Chain A
C-alpha cells in the first residue's frame, strides 16, 4: 500500500495568514493526488485534483503543487470557512490511501 505522510498534524493561524501543508507519498504517484477539506460533522469536500487543478467553484486562494512523491497545499489567505481539517489522498493505486490530516484552527 502507498503510505501518505502529511504534516503538520495541526497548526494554528489567523485570518488572512498564508499556510502550507505538505504530503509525501511512499512511492511515485505522478499527479494522482487530491486535497480535501473537511468541516466538523460534514463529509470531506474535494478542493483540488491532479495535484494542482482546482475543482470548479473552489476559490483561487487554494494552491496545489508537486508531483511524484512530494506535494503541498497552500492557502494564500485564510478565511473563516478554512478552519477545518485537510487531507491528501492518492488515487494512483488501490487501495486508495489518505494522509492522516492537518487540523487548521484559529490562533
Chain B
C-alpha cells in the first residue's frame, strides 16, 4: 500500500535550519510529485511547495521561496524539505503528501517542528 513516512519531531532555536524527510513506498516514487504543507497549532493548512521526484523540478509558494529548499534522493525514494532562518511562527506540523497535480490522497504522518529559544 502507498505510504509516506516522515522523519521525527525537531526542536530548533530561532535562526537555525531544519530538514524534514519523507520516504515513499508502495508505488513508483518517481511518477508522482510530492507537496509539502504545514499546519500551525490550531490553524488551517498551508501549502508550501511541490517537487517532482523524477526531475527535481520544484514549484514553491512565494511566501517560502527564500527560506525553503526541496530536494529529492531517487536512490532512497525520499524527498526533503529544508527551511532556514527559523522563526517562532514556523512552529507547526509539517506534512508531505503525494501530489499528482491533483488531489492529495496520501499524506505522511506529520512532523512537529518546534522553534523556541
Task: Tell me the smallest distance from the CB of B2 to a CB of chain A, in Å.
Answer: 12
Q: Which of B7-15, B66-74, B97-105 contacts A (4 or more CB under 8 A)?
A: B97-105
B-side contacts of A95, CB under 8 Å: 47, 61-62
Cβ < 8 Å to A, chain B residues 92-117:
95, 101-105, 107-110
Q: What is the size, in residues, of chain A's interface with B at 8 Å between Cβ atoms? A: 21
Task: Tell me the smallest distance from the CB of A21 to a CB of chain B, in Å.
Answer: 14
B50 at the interface (CB under 8 A from A): yes
Task: Tell me the smallest distance from the CB of A69 to a CB of chain B, in Å.
Answer: 18
Cβ < 8 Å to B, chain A residues 75-107:
87, 89, 91, 94-101
Find out whether the CB atom of B103 lies under 8 angstroms from the CB atom of A34.
Answer: yes
Q: Find the A residue at minimum CB distance from B60.
A: A95
Q: Which of A11-19, A22-30, A43-51 contacts B (4 or more CB under 8 A)?
A: A43-51
A-side contacts of B35, CB under 8 Å: 96
Q: In whole angstroms, how far apart are the Cα atoms of A89 and B47 in the complex?
A: 10
Contact of A101 among B44, B102, B107 (CB under 8 A): B44
Find out whether the CB atom of B45 lies under 8 angstroms from the CB atom of A91.
Answer: no
Find out whether the CB atom of A97 lies under 8 angstroms from the CB atom of B47.
Answer: yes
B54 at the interface (CB under 8 A from A): no
Counting chain B residues whose Cβ lies within 8 A of the other chain, the interface size class is 10 to 19
B-side contacts of A50, CB under 8 Å: 103
Contact of B103 among A43, A46, A94, A97 (CB under 8 A): A46
Q: Find the A residue at minimum CB distance from B106.
A: A46
Find out whether the CB atom of A87 lies under 8 angstroms from the CB atom of B45.
Answer: yes
A-side contacts of B61, CB under 8 Å: 94-95
Q: In whole angstroms, how far apart are the Cα atoms of A76 and B101 in the complex?
A: 30
B-side contacts of A49, CB under 8 Å: 102-103, 105
Q: In whole angstroms, how far apart are the Cα atoms of A96 and B49 in the complex?
A: 9
Q: Find the A residue at minimum CB distance from B95.
A: A43
B-side contacts of A32, CB under 8 Å: 102
Interface set of B (CB-CB < 8 Å, partner A)? 35, 44-47, 50, 59, 61-62, 95, 101-105, 107-110
6 residue pairs from A and B, CB less than 8 Å apart: A36-B104, A49-B102, A91-B102, A91-B103, A98-B44, A99-B44
